[in-house]
Amino acid sequence: MYTTRNSWMVLVGILSILGFACQKMIDPAFTNTHYPADIEEIFVNKCATAGCHNAKSYQNAANLNMSTWETLLQGGVSGSVVIPFSVNQSSLLQFINTYDDLGIRSSPTMPINGQALSREEVMRVKTWIAEGCPSIDGEIPFASNPTTRAKAYITNQGCDLVSVVDAETRLVMRYVSVGHDPNQIELPHRIAVSPDGKYWYLCFTNGSYVQKFDAHYDTLVSEVFIGPAMWNVIVTSYDGKKAFVSDLSSNGKLVEIDLITMSVIKTLQGSGLFTFPHGLAYSQTHDTIYATAQYGNMIYRIIPSVPQVDKISLVKGALPVTTPQLQDPHEVLMSPDFSKYFVTCQTSNELRVMAAGVDSLLRAIPMGIHPLAMTYSKKRNLLFITNQEDSNPVYPMFKGSVYVVDMNTLTVVRKIYEKFYQPHGIGVDDQKDLLYVASRNADATGPAPHHISECAGRNGFFHVIDLNTWQVVKTASEVSVDSYSLGVRE
Per-residue pLDDT, averaged over 13-23, amounts to 32
The residue-averaged pLDDT of 33-42 equals 96
Task: Tell me the pLDDT tens digit for each residue of 174-231.
Answer: 999 999 999 999 999 999 999 999 999 999 999 999 999 999 999 999 999 999 999 9
Identify the band that residue 31 occupies on the pLDDT scale cut at 50, 70 and 90: low
pLDDT value at residue 41: 95
- In the predicted model, what is the mean pLDDT of the chain? 93
For the cut 70, the answer to whether the pLDDT of residue 4 exceeds it is no
Q: With a cut of 50, say whether residue 23 has pLDDT above it.
A: no
Distance CA(191)–CA(161), nearest Å, equals: 11
Q: Are 290 and 300 in contact (CB under 8 A)?
A: yes
Domains along the chain?
A: 29-130 (no CATH), 153-489 (2.130.10.10)
Mean pLDDT of 96-117: 92
Q: Summarize the confidence of residues 302-318 as an average pLDDT.
A: 96
Q: How does pLDDT run across 439-468, given as a tens digit for each residue?
A: 999 999 999 999 989 898 999 999 999 999
pLDDT at 70 over 60: yes
CA distance 478 to 62: 13
The pLDDT of residue 29 is above 70: no
Which is higher by pLDDT, 14 or 35?
35
Q: pLDDT-based confidence at 35, cuts 50/70/90?
A: very high
pLDDT of the residue at 474: 84
- Grouping H, G, I as helix, E, B as strand and the rest as coil, residue 241 is coil
The DSSP annotation for 104-134 comes to ---SS-SSTTSPPPPHHHHHHHHHHHHTT--
Distance in angstroms (rounded) separating the CA atoms of residues 431 and 380? 11
Q: How confident is the model at residue 126 (pLDDT cuts 50, 70, 90)?
A: very high
Q: Give the amino acid at 176.
A: V
Query: What's the pLDDT score for residue 32?
Result: 86
